[in-house]
Structure 1
Amino acid sequence: MNLLHTLLLGVALVTGTLAHAQQYPAKPIRLVVPFPAGGATDIFARAVSQKLGEKLGTTVIVDNKPGAGGTIGSDLAAKAPADGYTLLLSTTSTHSIAPSFGARLPYDAVADFTPIAHVGNAPSIMLVPNTSPARTVKEWVEYARKNPGKLNYASSGNGTVVHLGSEYFKAQAGLFLVHIPYRGTALAIPDLVSGKVDMLLDSLPSGLPHVKQGRLRALGITSLKRSPLLPELPAISESVPGYESVTWFGVYGPKGLPADIVAKVNAGLNQALAEADVKDRLAQLGIEPAGGTPQQFATMVARDRAKWKKIIDDRKLTLE
C-alpha cells in the first residue's frame, strides 16, 4: 500500500509539473525596471518586451520602479511570488556594483534571485553641456585639473555603474570632482543641458539622442574600442589609458523560480534577441545583444562583481 501511494504521488507530481509548464504564462508578465523611464535600462526593456511577449504568447508590461540606485525595484522583484509573473531587468549597478560595496541591501544579489539570461551590453558616453570649454576628453581633463573641486558629475544614484564608472574615471585621470546623485540619468539631463552639471557618463542608448538633437556634446565613449554607431567618437581610453566601463543587462526572477519557467523565459529571450528587427533596433541604440544559458549569466555576473570589488577596494571608494 505504501509503495502504491508513493508511485501515485510521484505520478501526481510529474503531471502537475508538466501542466504547470504548459499553462505558463496564463496572464501578463510584469518586467520591473528599477530605473526611471527614458534611461538606458528602460529603453532596452521596451525594445525587447513586445517581442518576448510574442514568443511567450502573452503581454510583457514594463513597470518602472526607480530609486536608491536601482535597489527599490530590485527588492520589489526579489520579494515577488516565484510564479514567473514578476521578472527583473537588472544591470551592473544592481547585481555587480551595489553588492561589491558591502552595502546593507534589502536583498541578497545571489541568494534572493534566480538568474534567467544575460540579454545585452552597452557602453556609456561622456556628455558635457554645449557651453563647456572642452571639446575633447583630454581638454576636459586638463580643465578639471585646473579647477579641482569646482566641477561636478551626475550619476543615476549612489552605487550605480554611472557612479562607479565616474569614480573610476576620476581615479584614472587624477581628478577631484563633486558627485551629484540622481534617481536616474534621465532626471539629470535637464541640469546637464542647463550647465548646472558639468559631466555625465550616460549609457549610449539614452545619451545619444540628446547628442543628435544638439542638446549636449559627447566627448568620448567608455568601451575600450570605438563604437560602430559613432566611429568618430574616441574611446576615453585613448586619453585616459586603461579606462573601461560597460553596462550589462540581464533578467532575473525571484528565488525559487521553477526550472520549467526559467527555461521557458530563457528560450523566449534568446529567440527574441535573435530576431532581425530586434537586433537592428538594439544596434541603432548602441546595445550589443547577448543571450545564453542561466548558468552562463550567473558566471558572468560573478566575474563582473569581482572586477568592480577590486576597483572599489583598490581605490578605497565609498558610498559617502
Structure 2
Amino acid sequence: MKWMIHVAALAIGLSALPGSWAQAPDAKAYPTKPIRLVVPYAAGGGGDAVFRLVTEPLAARLGQPLYFDYRAGAGGTIGLNLLSKAEADGYSLGVGSSDAVALAPNYHARLGYDPQKDLLPIAIVAEMPLVLLVKADSPIKGYKDLVKMAADKPGSVTYGTPGSGSASHIMGALLASGSGVEFTHIPYKGTAPAIQDLLGGQVTTIITSGFDAVPLDKAGRVRALAVSGTQRYALLPKTPTAREQGVDLVDELKVWFGVFAPAGVSKAIVARLAREIDQIISTEQFRTRSAELGFVPIHTTPEQFQLRVQEDTTRLAALVRRTGVKPD
C-alpha cells in the first residue's frame, strides 16, 4: 500500500548548500526523484502517525515527494530487512523502532539483517515511555492495588501487550519480578486488539506506549498506574513512575522511532536529511501535534543516534537475560 505526498518541487540552489556539500558529488543534486520511506507497521499505527508529521514538511524542504511503502509484520523487522538490502543511494529510507532495532537482535539469530551493520541511523524523531493501564472503571486505583490483587489471588492478574518479545512484554515481567508477584502475559497481534480487550474487561491491564495511552487517558477511558523511565511522563504528569512505587527495573525502558537508511549512503546525504528532520521537529507545529499524539520530540545527530542504538541493544540484552522472556 502506497500513498504519495504531493508537494510543489522547490528549487534548491547550490548557493544555499553548506561548503561541505559542494564537495560531495552524490549529494550536490540530491534528491532528483521521489524518495521511498519503508514503514514496517500497519497504516494508522504509532510509527505511521509519527512519520506523517515529518514527511510533508520534509518533502517540501527536499523538493521531491516522499511515498510510504508499507511492509508490516514481525514487529517491524520485515520492513527493516527489506530496507537493509535496498540500494544505498538515499532514495530508500525507512522507519525503525527500538523494538525492531535494539530489542529484536537479542531474540532472533536470523533476523536477515544486522541493525548495527546494515542500517545507518539518521535521526530519532520521537520517544515515549511505556504505560501500565487499567480501564477507567476498574476497582484497581493504583499500582499497589494491582500488586495486592496478584498476591491475594496468584494468576488472577493478566496483562496484554502488542506481542511476545516486545518491550511491553519485558516491562510486565520486570514489574512482576520487582514486586514479587506473578502477572500472566497475554500477547496480542498489535496494540489495537489489546486495547479492545482491556476496555471489554477481558484482561486486567495492558502495557503500551505513550502514543496509545495518552489519547485513551484524555478520553477518560483508562487509568494510568505507572510509567517506565526515571522521570514522570510530561503528557501524563499525575502518573507516578514505577520507580516511585518501589520498582526500579524499568527505568531504562522507553520506545523510540527513528529514520534509517541502508548502510553505505553517503555521509553528506545523511547529514542533510538529519539537519532537515531536526529543523522540522523543532517547529511549534510539530511540538504541539506530538503532544496531542502522546510522544516527545527528540533531537539527535546521526552519531548520537548510532550510539543510542548500541547502548540500548546492550541494555535490553541484559533485561532479556534477567526476565528470560522469549517471543512465541
Q: Shorter-chain TM-score: which interval? A: 0.7 to 0.9
SS at match of 1:111: helix
1:55-98: per-residue Cα shift (whole Å, max 9, x none)?
22223334443221221222122222222222222111011111
Counterpart position of 1:36 = 42
Counterpart position of 1:311 = 319
SS at match of 1:277: helix
* Residues 66, 169 of structure 1: alpha-carbon distance in 2 compared, 3 angstrom cutoff: farther
- The amino acid of 2:194's aligned partner reads A
* Residues 311, 18 of structure 1: alpha-carbon distance in 2 compared, 3 angstrom cutoff: closer
- Answer yes or no: is 1:294 the counterpart of 2:294: no
1:22-56: per-residue Cα shift (whole Å, max 9, x none)?
33222332322323334332221122222222222
- Answer yes or no: is 1:256 the counterpart of 2:264: yes
Counterpart position of 2:65 = 59
Q: 2:103 aligns with which of 94, 97, 102?
A: 97
Aligned-pair CA distance for 1:19 = 4.8
* Residues 63, 157 of structure 1: alpha-carbon distance in 2 compared, 3 angstrom cutoff: farther
Q: 1:246 aligns with which of 244, 248, 254?
A: 254
* Residues 78, 158 of structure 1: alpha-carbon distance in 2 compared, 3 angstrom cutoff: farther
**Comparing 23-32 and 88-97, the one that deviates more:** 23-32
Distance in 1, matches of 2:126 and 2:254, equals 10
- The amino acid of 1:316's aligned partner reads G
- Answer yes or no: is 1:274 the counterpart of 2:274: no
Distance in 1, matches of 2:158 and 2:39, equals 27
**Comparing 32-41 and 134-143, the one that deviates more:** 32-41
Q: 1:24 aligns with which of 24, 27, 30?
A: 30
Unaligned segments of structure 1, at least 5 residues? 1-15
SS at match of 1:110: helix
SS at match of 2:90: coil
- Answer yes or no: is 1:185 the counterpart of 2:203: no
Distance in 2, matches of 1:167 and 1:276, equals 38
Unaligned segments of structure 2, at least 5 residues? 1-21
Give the TM-score normalised by the residue count of structure 2.
0.84
Counterpart position of 2:53 = 47
Counterpart position of 1:8 = none
**Comparing 90-99 and 161-170, the one that deviates more:** 161-170
- Answer yes or no: is 1:71 the counterpart of 2:69: no
Cα pair 1:69 1:183 within 8 Å, conserved: no
Distance in 2, matches of 1:206 and 1:37, equals 15
How many residue pairs get aligned? The number is 306
Cα pair 1:269 1:291 within 8 Å, conserved: no
Cα pair 1:24 1:261 within 8 Å, conserved: yes
SS at match of 1:153: strand
- State, as a whole percentage, how many aligned pairs show the same letter: 36
Aligned-pair CA distance for 1:228 = 2.7
- The amino acid of 2:78's aligned partner reads I
Cα pair 2:26 2:266 within 8 Å, conserved: no
| Backbone CA RMSD of aligned residues | 2.4
**What aligned pairs does 1:163-174 form with structure 2 within 5 A after superposition?**
163-174=169-180
- The amino acid of 1:66's aligned partner reads A
Cα pair 2:33 2:64 within 8 Å, conserved: yes
* Residues 34, 197 of structure 1: alpha-carbon distance in 2 compared, 3 angstrom cutoff: farther
Aligned-pair CA distance for 1:249 = 1.9
Cα pair 1:155 1:188 within 8 Å, conserved: yes
SS at match of 2:303: helix
* Residues 103, 133 of structure 1: alpha-carbon distance in 2 compared, 3 angstrom cutoff: farther
Q: 1:87 aligns with which of 89, 93, 108?
A: 93
